[in-house]
Amino acid sequence: MMTLDHYASSPLKTEMLSTRSIKTFFNYLKRVYNVAQERYELSQLDERMLKDIGITKAQAREEIERDFWDIPNK
């Protein structure tokens, strides 16, 4: 009789976990890139454009200067 431990340590289960981890990592990298792109675009807006979207120059600067890994939750 096979136990649950046998299935948990099977090569297929390990491969699935590994594939999921890789996908999760690449999704994270994609999100970091997208946020960096948005911050760059925000840095290109003048005060009139910032006012149109409802933020001040100081708020924009604060967002732009955040560390690249500091991304908002979805």
pLDDT tens-digit profile of 8-55? 556 656 666 688 889 999 999 999 999 999 999 999 999 999 999 999
Distance CA(72)–CA(62), nearest Å, equals 13
Number of domains in the chain: 1
Q: Flag whether 71 is in a domain.
A: no
Q: If DSSP codes are grouped into helix, strand and coil, which group holds residue 41?
A: helix
Q: Flag whether 20 is in a domain.
A: yes
Q: Which residues fall within 8 angstroms of residue 39, CB to CB, at 6 or more apart?
A: 63, 64, 66
* Mean pLDDT across the chain: 85
Amino acid 50: pLDDT: 97
Amino acid 73: pLDDT: 79
Domain that holds residue 39: 4-64
- Indicate yes or no: pTM above 0.75: no
DSSP state of 13: H
Amino acid 38: pLDDT: 95
Q: Flag whether 73 is in a domain.
A: no
Of residues 72 and 25, more confidently modeled: 25
